[in-house]
A and B are shown apart, each in its own frame.
Chain A
Amino acid sequence: MIVRELIASGKFAVLNEDGDKEKTITVPFCCDLLSIAMSKAPAGAAWVTVMGNVNTIAVATLAEVSAVIIAEGMAVDAFALEKAKEQGIIVLATRSPIFETANWIYRRLYE
């Protein structure tokens, strides 16, 4: 599945779509601690987290994830979105919990 298909699913609010929509989603990845996400997020992962600040975007850029998905209806601050546009990090949002969101993506990738 590529990021464009994830967006087209209609399951997520699209907070920033300026980025590489043709990028392949390799796996869902869940983590809220940035040090762990930084070192463990696989490249191309759809990163599901509740942390919606600018540091999430910095880590997403360094870890080369395919998209950031903010779960549980958590807010993303304006500066983070500005940075996401600048860095080309696609940011989606959902009210669903982290596990459900990641599981939904996992099923579409592997079932």
Chain B
Amino acid sequence: MSVSIRLSYTVSSDDFTRAGEASSDVKGKLKKLGFSPDVVRRVAIVMYEGEINMVIHASGGKIEVTITEEEIEMRLMDTGPGIADIDMAMQEGYSTAPDAIRTLGFGAGMGLPNMKKYSDEMEIDTKIGVGTTVRMKVVTK
């Protein structure tokens, strides 16, 4: 029977100083569990992008991670403004991030495209004014 580990994190609102802590923690745990460097790296990339998106666009949110031998599943849930045009948001270079965010080195319009590219499965469930849930999977084999 396969063992499953569940982790949950709260991403704080507008807190760029703490953004990346959840990804860093998951990365450390996956390394200790002996997952391949490629899997660890892809999970770190998609989760960090997700965390940053939640801070920039949605005043934070919650992340749940389920780790099994076969896959790492991440659910990123926020109660932000929702994504008005997912097709546009998925295009590299398209960003609605404000200028203040760009001066920090973000807002290049690479967030969602990177999440799609480095995960094996991604689903976005979004509703204007209600929030967004992004579910991503990285398959380990």
Contact = CB atoms under 8 A, between A and B. Distances in A.
A33 B49 CA distance: 12
Nearest to B20: A58
A62 B44 contact: yes
A62 B105 contact: no
Contacts of B27: 62
Contacts of B16: 53-55
Given A35-B49, A39-B45, A62-B44, A55 B20 contact: yes
A2 interface: no
Contacts of A51: 104-105
A32 interface: yes
A34 interface: yes
Interface in B9-35: 16-17, 19-21, 23-24, 27
Interface in A28-68: 32-36, 38-39, 43, 51, 53-56, 58-59, 61-62
Interface in B78-105: 104-105
Interface residues of A, number: 20
Contacts of B114: 35, 38-39
B111 interface: yes
Interface of B: 16-17, 19-21, 23-24, 27, 37, 44-45, 48-49, 52, 104-106, 108, 110-111, 114, 117-118
30 contacts: A33-B105, A33-B108, A34-B52, A34-B104, A34-B105, A34-B106, A34-B108, A35-B108, A35-B111, A36-B108, A39-B45, A39-B117, A39-B118, A51-B104, A51-B105, A53-B104, A53-B105, A55-B16, A55-B52, A55-B106, A58-B20, A59-B20, A59-B48, A62-B20, A62-B23, A62-B24, A62-B27, A62-B45, A83-B17, A87-B24
Interface of A: 32-36, 38-39, 43, 51, 53-56, 58-59, 61-62, 79, 83, 87
Given A35-B110, A55-B20, A79-B17, 5 more contacts: A34-B52, A55-B105, A58-B48, A61-B20, A87-B24
